[in-house]
Amino acid sequence: MKKRIFFMLAAIGILQVNTVAKEKEDYKISKKPIEMSILAIQNGRVFDEKWSVFEEAFKDTNVKLKSATSKNLTDEMQAFNLSISSGKLPDIISLSFPDKLESLGMDGGIIPLNDLIEKHGPNIKKFFEKYPRYKMDAVASDGKIYFIPDYYDWYGMRASQGLFIRKDWLDKLGLKTPETMDDFYKVMKAFKEKDPNGNGIADEVPYFDRTTEFADKELVGLFGAEFGFYVDNGKVKYGPAQERFKEAMPEVIKWYKEGLIDSEIFTRGFQGRDYMLRNNLGGMTFDWFASTTAYNTDIELKNKIEGFEFVAIAPPEYKGKRYAPDARTTHLGGWAITAGAKDPVAAIKYMDYWFSDKGYELSNWGIEGDTFVRDENGKKMFTDKVMKADGKTPLQVLRDDGVQFRIGALQDYEYEKAWGNPQANEWAEMYVKNNYVVDPMPTLKYTPEENRRIQKLNSQLDMAVKEMSQKWILGADDFNKSYNGFIKRLDSIGLKEALEINQKAYDRFVGNK
């Protein structure tokens, strides 16, 4: 009996050893180590083979990536153009501009991945089947896949910015959080007139913004009006030519005229938020959750302004709906295999590795026991090495290990949540859960010919809309008198053609499901 139990245990033991060994073996792409060159520069940071994330991937797969560019070349487009003109493409190119990869693909410099994925990319295939939307983002206008996108966790977190308000000012004036557009206006008015900063001067700026791009877009956006092309029930429309824009813009003009919007909103600049908050002048803004929430834990600011509290609130309701006019895109760039690649099959297998459970974890969390650990329920959290580094933010520590470098992979929102400000996370989640976030226009794929036309039309349309909205808001032109002329100008630029091109591209995009 004893013997039999021993035998059985031994057998189980052997079995376990075998499974572990097999699992490790599964990721191996080649028996002998192979090297592939990569052009990859993200935010000025050149790919480094010594990052622990990529060393671990090498251990698993036997594929080592080596940067094809020098450490001193930090501009990715410059490096990309140099590489093309030299005629010596690396095996793999990672770029934040997928359209560049796709157009190089149509010229023969990048190889289509459709067949390679079908034959050698089981994890990517499964991923595309599970998320048709993500696949749609990868397909070019000719139906081919030239790059694997670097996906945001779009389903987990698509909110990026929200409406912030000085809660302590509301309390001081005995006001409630604005629920409707009407309340919103009244609160701005009270901020302007009732001296919430208590210095006896009407110096408050009820609404401010540090970017000109968002100054006008966001404000009309709170009414559900669009500033560019968007899709309504499968039909591509142009926001400024729609009724909702005609409702929203006069309100924004009125707010500006009454001094409720920063009079210098178009010229204030990127430090504007800092200036408005540190000098106790600004009441509301629409900005990134993480960086804006951080003002609440700024010791210097808290010491200077007693009771300072800048909180995110739901966008005010307009005609029964709340609109947050800003969302993350589904992806940001991606990577591709060039026509010069020595071993495209090994390259796609390596790309596929990042969609395996191990690769997914590695790209988001780094190395278990080093950058992250698991609690008894299996929930992952970052270690002190990441969270308590001297003089470095958690994200900087992670980036120094190669975590979240731009490769073709899926982001795990939990990763961001684990190092992010819990309060900011909570507010961003409130926006997602309540469906405030207006879906962004997908990144459409154009044929080379369409692309030439749409680039030209877009830049002229954008210019006309920006120019006129500034004129209207600043009071240099009367909205009611000039709106029809503005529409005529859009028509003469070629709005109709731009709508047709976008509709075609959108229909193609939907057809890629």
The residues binding Ca ion (CB under 5 A) are 195, 197, 199, 201, 203
What three-state secondary structure class fits 180? Answer: strand
Contact 415, 151 (CB under 8 A): no
Closer residue to Ca ion (CB): 195 or 274: 195
Least spacing, CB of residue 199 vs Ca ion, in Å = 5
What three-state secondary structure class fits 161? Answer: strand
Least spacing, CB of residue 300 vs Ca ion, in Å = 21
Contact 281, 203 (CB under 8 A): yes
Closer residue to Ca ion (CB): 304 or 488: 304
Return the CA Rg of the chain: 26
As given in the structure block, the two tokens for residue 396 are 């900087």
Closer residue to Ca ion (CB): 173 or 373: 173
Closer residue to Ca ion (CB): 201 or 299: 201
Closer residue to Ca ion (CB): 195 or 317: 195
Least spacing, CB of residue 202 vs Ca ion, in Å = 6
Instruction: Please tell me the number of Cα atoms within 13 Å of 4 on its side-chain side.
Output: 1
Closest CA to 350 of 336, 367, 331, 339: 336
As given in the structure block, the two tokens for residue 108 are 């023969």
Closer residue to Ca ion (CB): 197 or 451: 197
The DSSP code sequence of 313-368 is EPPPEETTEE-B--B--SEEEEEEEBTT-S-HHHHHHHHHHTTSHHHHHHHHH-SB
Least spacing, CB of residue 305 vs Ca ion, in Å = 12
Residue type present at position 162:
G
Closer residue to Ca ion (CB): 75 or 203: 203
Query: Beta strands 34-42 and 63-67: pairing type?
Result: parallel
**How buried is 19 (Cβ within 10 angstroms: 0-12 exposed, 13-18 middle, 19+ buried)?**
exposed
Closer residue to Ca ion (CB): 204 or 416: 204
SS (H, E, C) 390-419: CCCCHHHHHHHCCCCCCCCCECCHHHHHHH
Least spacing, CB of residue 194 vs Ca ion, in Å = 9
Least spacing, CB of residue 387 vs Ca ion, in Å = 39
Euclidean distance between CA atoms 169 and 141, whole angstroms: 52
Euclidean distance between CA atoms 347 and 362, whole angstroms: 18
Closer residue to Ca ion (CB): 199 or 455: 199
